[in-house]
A and B are shown apart, each in its own frame.
Chain A
Amino acid sequence: MIDWISIPLVGLPLVSSLVLLAFVANADGSTRERLGSTIRMVSLVISLAMLALTTMMFFAQSQSLMYEALGLDKALDWTGLGFGSFNFEFRYMWIEALGIHWSVGVDALSFPMVWLTTFLLPVTIVATWNEKYAATYFPLILMMGGALIGVFVALDLFMFYVFWELTLIPMFFLILKWGGKDRKYASQKFFIYTFTASVVMLLGLVTLYFLQPDQALSYSGSWTGRTFDIPTLTAHAQQGNADGAWFLGESMQKILFVMLMLGFLVKLPSVPFHTWLPDAHVQAPTGGSMLLAGVMLKMGAYGMFRLPLAFFPHAAEHFQFWLLALGMISLVWGAIVCLGQTNLKKMVAYSSVSHMGVILIGIATMQPLGWAAALFMMFAHGIISPMLFAVCGAFKHHYHSMEIGAMRGMAQHSPWLATSMMFAWMASLGLPLLAGFVAELMMFLALWHFLAANDWSVLWMVGPALVLALTAAYYLWSMQRTIFEGGKETQPPATLHGEPVPDIADSEKFAMIIMAVFTILFGVMPWIALDMMNGWTVGFFETLLIPILGGA
């Protein structure tokens, strides 16, 4: 097997972005302008090559042409891969003394996220084709992509943490340089919130590291005698948790679970740690928002599946109520706050909080169906929310305002934007046959099943039911005020200063169509992604959770 991950998917975007940035570092303004379009083209080509590679990886499960091109003897089996085994697993020594490896691999948990990242990179680049300061903007987008993929493919805690923090830097600059009026405040808040949570997580990880037996596990450091290797740690934790015993003891497991979850809940974000998100989104440029909502938030959920849920299932069961409650509060609170927003982008940002609540509820049900729902939600939201933000970006770009109602009768003035907005809004509120619907439906079923099986009160269903109505309300209301009301008799917004009302550019149209096509594709044929997610979840439950926690 050839290491298709380290160099083409992680190294290439990171190194090429640094090279491109170094290239323009000391160039003066006019030179940069000239180089801008070349750099944009180079970035697009690199991101398309990455997309081609991950798409080949997907088709390598059936097409001999694809797996032979990847240098494989037989087809990859994403669905049957299950839990605990990885495709393209590679391990290189990094810091021997501490047992740190450059260790990569993808399984059915991380592969959809990796594909999603490579899908969003070219889409983002195309959607924000005319962004200013192109010479530095597009390399930062590439760097962001490389760091995100690094998080998803890392199988070593140190490497995971390095990439986890590395994602902050390009995003900080994207918000700071291309953001809105309060970008200074927003970028700092974003950085400090997530950094604070992740250093607490780091302390938890280090404590976990030293709670392993000395020299007993594979890939141990020559000096510390402990390992950072995630599969090894998972297997070790699995043994410790067997037969009803608590790995590391009850109180220690609970505290470590909380410390790790803190880092992930802030990133997700869940109420009450969500306040950085609306600020960051409203101020971030369109491309930044697309990647932030599309992939970066999913890092939180991904981290939960990869680390605390796998290491500390007893603690997860213990805190089940709190997870469910947090998810429910995020879901409901996000939706209620959406109703009160007058800023289009802020509304979309809070709807993200609401949707992340769905993921948390899915996790909290501790049901295979709920987990599959969470995984599919991560994926579907990763396609839909960038479209929402692309619409917001186009709105802002063309009407110089984000206020709902600043532009009325959009269907009349700019039909392309109106259509895209309508489609994205419908997808986000969960219209059947679109990707979001599948995830929400699965979550409902899982929650019903969970409540019935454990004799929990049916009142828990009130929240999601209420949110269905609320989501429809705020989306339809904002659509009505923006797209339909007014029409011929209304004037274009005052912020345009009497210029003719524009419609979105061709590159934006193209990006919207692509995202819409994939939203429909995964809505009509969800099994493309759902099969492998299901395979991973069932594997997780069969090999790890059921033997430890019992039940079905």
Chain B
Amino acid sequence: METMQAFDDGFATALAPEIVLVIGMFTLMIAPNLGDAKFRIPLTQIRIPWFFGGKRGALESDPRMPGLFASVFFVLAFLLAALSYVNGMNVTMIQSEGGHDLLLVNEFSRIFELIFYGALALASIASINRIPATSRNDRSALGLYNNRRQVDFYILLMTTGLGMSIVALAQDLFLLFIGLELASFSTYVLVSFMKETKEGTEAGMKYFIVGSVASGVGLYGLSLLYLWSGSLQFTELTIAFAENGMEPLPLIALGMLLVGFGFKVSAAPFHFAAPDAYAGATSPVAGVLATASKAMGVIGLLRILLVVASPEATDGAAVWLVALAVLSVVTMTWGNLAALGSTNPKRMLAYSSVAHAGYMLAAITAIGALNWEPEHLNVSNDAALAVVTALIFHLVVLVCFKLGAFLVLSILESEKGGHTLASLGGLAKREPFLAATMFIFMMSLAGVPPLSGFVSKLLVIMGIVKVALVDVTVSGNLTFSDVHWVWYLALLMVINSAISVFYYLRVGLVMFFHEPEAGREGPLPQGKSVRLAIFACLLTTLYFGVGAGQLIALCESAANALVGAW
């Protein structure tokens, strides 16, 4: 591992994707303001070109410019993050001057950067042309306004990306929290970005209030932890937990942090704002919330529960284990049952996202069962590795099909549809390819082979079962009661995924069976860029299902980088 301080040699290569995003932000801020303004040197007639202000050129005032720029920067950041895999991972720790660990670039943070930038790139590509834009020849205030407003949208997407990658990189709880808040505040604004609609404002408001309460509780937990150990470094917290983690103060603090991250992954009972937020936000933003933002919350949970509180903290730490197990069961069941009854496809996807959060919590419970119970002290953590791999795999492929489903809805949104199931009616007649794609996304969400959703569900089940059987020695006198109780979490998970088929199939039924709503018989709105993004989602959904091997290897190396700390 290479250790360096900020702005040392190699700093730029290590954090290249983030730096690209920062450059992108400034570019977006400056570019639309460039014009042909000239500065006259006083008392002379010499005019020096001074590009800020004045009449804008064709490119700067093009309403599609911000979207294109942002997409290019996101794709560039994505490629730079991916490039580090090509040349071999250069694990880099960035420290403060005092020698505290700040950011760690390794396989784990890189794969999450890929998730974040991938999701944001797709959302940004899909959003080009979404905000009603006027032609570039329109020099009216409206044209100007649209262009500038779009700039705001994409800058917020970029700050979201920056915040998320800080969360993935952070080696210090405080830094992690700052990243989390940077991303959160950007998403609050993004959710209510369509301020003309009542739903948008309402959704943003709800999301902000609930989210800031959750953040506040989390921050309070953070401060309690600091009060207790005097440090927020992961490494030092881990040591402190290993020594006397059973004191009430850190346990309460952990519980409070769970609230903060539980909101991000929309686990019950902190999920109430999610359906409203998803329904009110534009679909690409909702897609980002359901994929990238969720992955960010999972990082928080993994860091807190596994890296900090898990190893060596044995006797009695299982208090959290049972709570987490109950939480996971409640979350998956609640999510599925609520999704059954929702007729708004975006709310349905939000609840399905809650259900998926339940599956992930079940997986985290399984890791806990391996690490927190005294009898497993000397067991190798292969099984925990399998579960973390499954979790990461799940988060990666979620970007493919869940975001894809939201993007399909976003096309309908352009014709003021997408808020009712009925508006999907007759999609198969209007655009068969899109309907087939949406059906594939739904089947992938339900976990039907050979799609990537199936592989991710299989991996999670396999991880849980592996943990459940970890202290079972295979012999002729094996009894079923030897199996650890987390096996039943896997059982509940498969039963829940069977329930979920109902509402995923319903979308297919409406698309293929129902007639289009009145006024929606014609072809769907144009939009090459959003279809391109959907097509990318489709290809990855299929590819990671049929050829999952490589991605599993990547996720395994990421999991190793996280769990290797044990």
Contacts and interface: CB of A to CB of B under 8 A. Distances in A.
A and B found bound together: yes
A194 to B, nearest CB: 10
A268 to B, nearest CB: 19
Contacts of A21: 436
B110 interface: no
Contacts of A26: 431-433
A251 interface: yes
Contact of B478 (A98, A187, A248): A248
Interface stretch (B147-155, B409-417, B458-466): B458-466
B476 A246 contact: yes
Interface string B523-554: 00000000000000000000000001100110
B391 to A, nearest CB: 15
A210 B462 contact: yes
A524 interface: no
B436 A165 contact: no
Interface string B416-451: 000000000000000111001000000100111110
The bracket for how many chain A residues form the interface is 35 or more
A210 B478 contact: no
Contacts of B448: 165, 168-169, 195
Contacts of A209: 462, 465
A224 B462 contact: yes
A161 B454 CA distance: 11
B474 A95 contact: no
A323 B436 CA distance: 41
A252 B502 contact: no
Contacts of B276: none
A520 interface: no
B463 to A, nearest CB: 10
A403 B450 CA distance: 40
Contact of A192 (B477, B502, B512, B549): B502
Interface stretch (A198-206, A352-360, A372-380, A480-488): A198-206
A509 interface: no
A176 interface: yes
Interface string B269-309: 00000000000000000000000000000000000000000
A546 interface: no
A254 B513 CA distance: 43
A202 B458 contact: yes
Contact of B466 (A191, A210, A213, A254): A210
B512 A210 contact: no
B31 interface: no
Contact of A210 (B436, B469, B475): B469
Contacts of B386: 223-224
A254 B548 CA distance: 33
Contacts of A187: 509
A72 interface: no
Contact of A173 (B450, B497, B512, B552): B512
Interface string B488-513: 00110011011001100110110011
Nearest to B479: A251
Contacts of A224: 386, 462, 466
B480 A212 contact: no
B476 A249 contact: yes
Nearest to A179: B513
Contacts of A177: 512-513
Interface string A185-226: 001100110011001101100110111110000000001100
Contacts, number: 128
A166 B480 contact: no
A195 B497 CA distance: 9
Interface string A497-524: 0000000000000000000000000000
A207 B498 contact: no
B512 A176 contact: yes
A290 B506 CA distance: 26
Given A97-B552, A161-B449, A203-B494, A248 B458 contact: no
B226 to A, nearest CB: 39
Given A97-B549, A192-B502, A251-B480, A176 B487 contact: no
A207 B449 contact: no
B224 interface: no
Q: Which secondary structure characterizes the binding site on chain B?
A: helix
Contacts of B508: 172, 176
A199 B549 contact: no
A146 to B, nearest CB: 12
B492 to A, nearest CB: 10
Contact of A223 (B477, B491, B506, B556): B556
A528 interface: no
A96 interface: yes
A97 B513 CA distance: 41
B219 interface: no
A69 interface: no
A224 B383 CA distance: 9
A98 B492 CA distance: 23
A94 interface: yes
Contacts of A248: 474, 476, 478
B472 interface: yes
Nearest to A256: B480
B505 A192 contact: yes
A13 B386 CA distance: 36
B378 interface: no
A184 B505 CA distance: 10
A176 B497 contact: no
B431 A213 contact: no
B450 to A, nearest CB: 5
B44 interface: no
Given A166-B450, A202-B458, A245 B505 contact: no
A176 B465 contact: no
Given A95-B548, A165-B448, A192-B505, A203 B465 contact: yes
B505 A98 contact: no
A199 B497 contact: yes
Given A98-B552, A165-B448, A207 B487 contact: yes
A329 B512 CA distance: 38
B87 interface: no
A25 interface: yes
A240 interface: yes
24 contacts: A96-B549, A97-B549, A97-B556, A161-B449, A162-B449, A169-B443, A172-B508, A183-B513, A184-B509, A184-B513, A192-B501, A192-B502, A192-B505, A195-B501, A196-B501, A199-B497, A199-B498, A209-B465, A210-B465, A210-B466, A210-B469, A213-B474, A249-B475, A251-B479
Given A162-B454, A199-B498, A224-B462, 8 more contacts: A25-B433, A95-B549, A200-B494, A200-B495, A209-B462, A210-B466, A252-B479, A252-B483
Nearest 8 interchain pairs by C-beta: A249-B478, A196-B498, A162-B449, A251-B480, A245-B476, A199-B494, A95-B549, A251-B479
Interface of B: 386, 431-433, 436, 443, 446-450, 454, 458, 461-462, 465-466, 469, 472, 474-481, 483, 487, 490-491, 494-495, 497-498, 501-502, 505-506, 508-509, 512-513, 548-549, 552-553, 556
